Each structure stands twice: as C-alpha cells, then as structure tokens.
Amino acid sequence: MGIVEDSPLLGSLFDGRVIARVHSGISSMNTLYAEEARLVASAVAVRQAHFTAGRLSAHAALEALGIQHGPILSDAARAPIWPQGVVGSITHTDGFCGAVIALHTQYHGIGIDVEVRERVDEELWEQVLTPAELQRLRAQPAARRKELATIIFCAKEAFYKCQYQVTAAWLGFEGADVSLSEERFVLRLLDNVGTLTAGQEFIGRFALLPTIVVAGIAMASR
C-alpha cells in the first residue's frame, strides 16, 4: 500500500512557503479520480505507477494547503492543470516520486525535477548541454562529469516546468545555460521565451542523495 508523507527535502529547495509531499510504496490506479486514470489507461505499467504516485502526492499537497480540488488533468503538453490560484510541479524517477505546490500569490511558477545520479551519459551531452556548459564540464575531473551533467539536466527540467506555468511556451535545452555552485545553480536564458527575455537569470537549488539528485526553482510573484 502506498504512503504519502511530507518531504523536508523538496521543501528545502525553496525560500518561500511550499507544500511538498512524496509517495512511497505501490498504490492502485483505483485510488485516482476516474478522469485521471483514463489519462494513462493505455500506458505501460511503470508509467501508470509513476503517474499514480505523482497525482496522489499532488492531492495530498493540495489538501494540506486547504485547497478544494477535483482531478488534476493534463494539458496538450502533458503538464498538470492546477486549481485556480495554485502553482505546482510533479516529478518522478526510479524509487522517488513527489510534488510541490504553492499559492500563486507566493510564486508565479515552480518546478522540481529528480534524476538518478550519473544517469546522463556522455552520448547525451551534446543534446542537453550548450557549448559553454560542455566546455566547463570537460574541464572537470572525468569521474565527476556524468554527475555534473545530470545536475545540469535536472536544473533545466525543473526550470522548464517552472517557466511553462508563466509562459505556456516551449524552451529547449539549448535555450538556457546553467552554472553550478555549492547546492545552487544559476540559469541564464539564451533565448526569449514568452514574456521572459534572453539574458535573464534565475537561481535554483539542488541536492545530492545517495542515489538521486533533485533540483528546484521558482519565480516569485511581484
């Protein structure tokens, strides 16, 4: 039976008030709203399990914030459709699934991503890294490169989810440059996206666990 509980880890990625929940164990799709279950009715079992765990995490987070809600459906880009007045993000990988939400008065957008450490192999680097990122990566010790590439990938994925809630626009991996420091990253836009312009910088956080890396970033409401 699956269990949903608070996640201090995900919450620590943000300065403002967010509600973070993680799911562990196995939950049946019968625990979803019927409209949610239909979204993945024809998906493979792993996708169904991840989807279920993510939606249950999101439900619990919304309930903890006191938000009345129904099914969390998806838009044409498969992004979750959150209740009015709320922003949120869901992420999952092998052995980890969670969600964060916040009020729109706190953040305009919020994004999290989790990946298995060292998952981004060298054959993927030119697809997900800019030339400048690749140059910086190759200057690092060889033993650390896959892990650092995975952190950059994770940071970009988290930012994509965050900015999509603001712009509803596509942003490719080549459209942003990520610089890493101790448990923080700076993402600089290289392309215009929606109302966001090239040159803007955004600061996020990441954390390394024994088997995974997590990253989070948000755009504060003004």
Termini Cα distance of the chain? 42
Same domain assignment for residues 24 and 102: yes
Q: What is the pLDDT along the chain (222 residues), one digit of tens a residue?
A: 799 999 999 999 999 999 999 999 999 999 999 999 999 999 999 999 999 999 999 999 999 999 989 999 999 999 999 999 999 999 999 889 999 999 999 999 999 999 999 999 999 999 999 999 999 999 999 999 999 999 999 999 999 999 999 999 999 999 999 999 989 999 999 999 999 999 999 999 999 999 999 999 999 987
Same domain assignment for residues 73 and 98: yes
Same domain assignment for residues 177 and 189: yes
Name the packing angle between helices 131-138 and 145-167 (round to 10°): 150
* Number of domains present in the structure of the chain: 2
Same domain assignment for residues 122 and 212: yes
Same domain assignment for residues 118 and 216: yes
Same domain assignment for residues 25 and 98: yes
Same domain assignment for residues 100 and 140: no
Same domain assignment for residues 76 and 128: no
Q: Which domain-ending residue is among 93, 112, 131?
A: 112
Three-class DSSP labels, 135-177: HHHHCCCHHHHHHHHHHHHHHHHHHHHHHHHHHCCCCCHHHEE
Instruction: Name the pTM for this structure.
Output: 0.96
Same domain assignment for residues 107 and 11: yes
Q: Which domain-ending residue is among 74, 97, 112?
A: 112
